[in-house]
Amino acid sequence: MNNQPPLSVKNLYKSFQKRQFPWCKKVPAFVAVNSISFDLRKGEILGLLGRNGAGKTTTIQMLLGTMIPTSGTISYFGKDFSDNRSLSLEKVSFASTYVRLPGRLTVYENLEFYGKLYAVSYLELRSTIDRLLSLFGISHLKSRKASALSAGEMTRAILVKAFLSSPSIVLLDEPTASLDADIASVIRDFVLEQRKQQALSIIFTSHNMDEVAQVCDRVIVLKDGTIIDDDTPVNLAARVSQTRVCLVSDEPYKIREYVTRKGLHCTLSGNAVTITVDEHSIAPFLVELANNNLSYTYISIEKPSLEDYFLQITRTT
């Protein structure tokens, strides 16, 4: 039985040397990806999380073979990518908000061309194109030139392209960034359903933390080209000790004044005061409010989220 992961990355490193004139002082190379290693398991949705410039896009470009690593190895299905590029990419597809289809061709012509590149049979290709265009709400655009598509329409067409060939691995770079909320929800549901039905392995990047938490089984966090964390979204969020307590009160200004004197961060919206407090201090804090005759009619306690974790590491790393 083959226990090889569909994708294995070992000590992947990419640096860029700035062009210089011979008489100029030598400038150190810029390191975009710094010796990262990870496996993508079968049927896993793996999130790549990090600020702009963290190394996510460079990593994906190396995984696609559009950028050559400075050092390190990439293996697809147990075979070295550098020696088996064409064979590997037959089973790998890609979609990104930041790429476009050739503008002179219609949507259908573009999709038909890509399907033929992957040797999809004519009947299967036509059926799959129609099904996915309908699912993503762009059937009416099949005869429109790609150059006339809006950003959101282009993103959906690119997503159709990515799933035409029944891939084993899909690399999704910000796949919902330009989409309305309802369409983005359809895309997330589709991705989860495809993983369930076909045991797809997916790498997923997004700046929407709620989306990452909903879709991804595991998240790798990149900072300055280095992996600084690797865990489930739930476990990452649980590392944040700060919790938000929302109190609805007839005297919200008094509560705000009190918590501000204590040095706690709070926001006021109507009669609701939201206070950020360490989760272990919630009970003593509520007792203090009662002892100071500060009452409230409603309380809710919001557990830390993946976004809270991301904001925390952004401030502290």
| pLDDT tens for the chain, residues 1 to 317 | 467 899 999 999 999 877 666 666 666 788 999 999 999 999 999 999 998 889 999 999 999 999 999 999 999 999 999 999 999 999 999 999 888 999 999 999 999 999 998 889 989 999 999 999 999 999 999 999 999 999 999 999 999 999 998 899 999 999 998 888 998 999 999 999 999 998 999 999 998 999 999 999 999 999 999 999 999 999 999 888 888 899 999 989 999 999 999 899 899 999 999 999 888 889 999 999 999 999 999 999 888 889 988 888 877 65
pLDDT of residue 234: 92
Please tell me the pTM assigned to this model.
Answer: 0.84
Helices within 142-180 (DSSP H only): 151-162
pLDDT score recorded for residue 302: 86
* Spatial separation of the C-alpha atoms in residues 70 and 83, rounded to whole Å: 16
Longest dimension (CA), the chain: 76
Q: What pLDDT, on the 0 to 100 scale, is given for residue 303?
A: 85
Structure tokens at 151: 């950003």
Q: Please name each of the domains of the chain with its CATH number.
A: 7-237 (3.40.50.300), 241-316 (3.30.70.120)
pLDDT computed for residue 311 by the predictor: 85
The 3-state DSSP class for residue 298 equals strand
Considering only CA atoms, give the Rg of the chain. 24
Q: Which helix (H) or strand (E) holds 242?
A: strand 242-248
**CA within 13 Å, CB half, 13:** 10
Structure tokens at 291: 């002892």
pLDDT of residue 1: 44
